[in-house]
Amino acid sequence: MKEIKNLVNGSWHSSIKTWEKTSPFDGRVVARVHEADKALVDEAIAAGRKEAFGAWGNMAMPQRVAIVRNMAQRLSARVDDLIEADMADTGRPYWQASNFDGRRATNLFEGYCDLALGLENRSKNFVGPAGFEGLWISQRRPKGVIACIAPWNVPLLMMVLKVAPALVMGNAVMAKPSEETPSSTSILAEVIAASDIPDGAFALLNGFGRDSTGSFLSEHPDVDAILFTGEPGTGSEIMRSAASNLREVGMELGGKNASLVFEDADMDLAIEGSTRSVFFNCGQICFCTERIFVHKSRFDEFSARLTHAGKNIVIGEQNHDGFSIGPLVSKAHREKVYSIVQTVPKEGGEFLCGGGIPEFGDARDNGAFFQPTIAIGLADNATMMQEETFGPVAHISSFDDEDEVIVRANNTRYGLAATIWTKDVGRSLSVSQQLRVGHVWVNSWQIRDLHSPLAGAGISGVGEVGGRSSLEFCSQPQTITVRVK
């Protein structure tokens, strides 16, 4: 069986505590994973501090970028292994694994190398009160040790979004993948271990969250900043530990994203986009649409067409050549999705399709599959309209006018993203400005430049990440003022 160990100070460490990672596709064991205990986390952080405030952190940017670029090239050479690891951990189909997580993660490394090289220092000449003439230069120094705690839904990409900016800016990285998806990050660690990066500057620490590796990291006083993606509840727990030592946090959290389909929408485009935004990755993308509001004049047409699409989605065929979905990430996650879906009939709603667990009559029945589900008839405050399901599940409501739908779309504590379907450009801009979310897509979904800023409103995020914002988060501004005259 594949063994996944921890990488600390250049060496692979096993542990007496291990767990078996199983596939959500058919329940088979994928790997035995070694849990990093507190002593190992302490050792990794101590080694990291030496590098972040030593050779690695002080290295000239072009030299450091050359090392990171070389990692990106080595990672690209492992793309087939990354696809296999991703499919084993998540059960997702090949078409998706081959286009999404690993390849985008590799490109992201290169992108951060380019951005970091283009980063310029700020400077200004000035005259002080007593005629003193000076010049200040503000440059960005490493922040120190950065804990990168990732979720399972797009495992490598979510990790690289943190690791790449942290490394190029000269920090030491403590990478903690989700316990559900350790495999692709362990390949990243192999690649980094084979690169010219100093040993202590990167550690792979596997484990769980509370009372395990995750909290050993987030509670550690020598971790200087935490980059986290996951659930808002976990985010607030991490923020509490960070508060005790006044560490900075950057957080991308959940969503309860609305889609607004206006009377003038291009319906073919809206159906194609909504099929992806509801069902892609089995609904396990933070930007997935979970609440759809359709103008009353198009409600029947839209509902019938999206239901038709939902009923015809291919499920659980990893080699199907076209849009299809895999399972949810685990049976535990399926329990959560199912418990929310079961509130639909109790709270006055009904299903147009799905609502339950599919049966295959083979090994896939040991997996964590869920039917593509569309519901209608719920009030805006119903459980499924307020709780993030993170599954292939959405509710469709109808609306009468623009002012009404804006209020209803904003009726959530989340504020991650929204989608607008209309041919009226002016309306798309004016409605966007009234939606309390970090990202709005107009007549599209999930077409995203990963260097654009991302900041969730409400409980969907803390701080801003993406591109230059991530480089700034991962560095400490230092101003030097020199007396000129």
Bridging pattern class, strands 18-22 and 29-34: antiparallel
Cα–Cα distance between 399 and 52 in angstroms, integer? 54
Between 71 and 329, whose beta carbon lies closer to ligand NAD?
A: 329
Residues in 371-390 that interact with ligand NAD by CB under 6 A:
388, 390
Quick check: 149 and 96 in contact, CB under 8 A? no
Pairwise CA distance, residues 138 & 395, whole Å = 50
Which of 68, 108, 115, 150 touches ligand NAD (CB under 6 A)? 150
Which residues, numbered 265-324, are part of the site for ligand NAD (CB under 6 A)? 286
* Closest residue to ligand NAD, based on beta-carbon distance: 209
Please check whether residue 426 is in contact with residue 404, taking contact to mean a CB–CB distance below 8 angstroms.
Answer: no
Q: Rounded to the nearest whole angstrom, what is the least distance from the CB of residue 136 to ligand NAD in the complex?
A: 36
Task: Fill in the per-residue mask, 422 to 451: x = in contact with ligand NAD (CB under 6 A), - = not in contact.
Answer: ------------------------------
* Interatomic CA distance for residues 466 and 274, integer angstroms: 25
- Tell me whether residue 234 or residue 397 sits nearer to ligand NAD (CB atom): 234
Q: Give the SS3 label for residue 75.
A: helix
Categorise residue 332: left if φ over 0, alpha if ψ from -120 to 50, beta otherwise: alpha
214 contributes a contact to ligand NAD by CB under 6 A:
yes
Judged by CB under 6 A, how many residues of this single chain contact ligand NAD? Answer: 31
Residue of 119, 140, 57, 128 whose CA lies nearest to 482: 128
* Residue span binding ligand NAD (CB under 6 A) among the ranges 197-205, 212-220, 319-327, 397-405: 212-220
- The total number of residues shown for the chain amounts to 485
Contact status, residue 348 vs residue 367, Cβ threshold 8 Å:
no
Smallest distance, ligand NAD to C-beta of residue 55, A: 29
Query: Catalytic positions, please?
Result: 252, 286
CA angle 471, 255, 234 (to 5 degrees): 70
Least Cβ distance, residue 18 to ligand NAD (angstroms): 16
Beta carbon nearer to ligand NAD, 83 or 416: 416
Q: State the Cα–Cα distance between residues 179 and 167, nearest whole angstrom.
A: 23
Quick check: 416 binds ligand NAD (CB under 6 A)? yes
Encoded one letter per residue, x for contact with ligand NAD by CB under 6 A and - for no contact, window 162-191 reads: --------------x-xx------------
CB 184 to ligand NAD: min, Å: 13
Q: How far apart are CA 57 and CA 129, in angstroms?
A: 36
User: Is-contact 266 420, C-beta < 8 A?
Assistant: no
Task: Give the footprint of ligand NAD on this chain (CB under 6 A).
Answer: 149-153, 158, 176, 178-179, 208-210, 214-215, 218, 229-231, 234, 237-238, 252-255, 286, 388, 390, 416, 456, 461
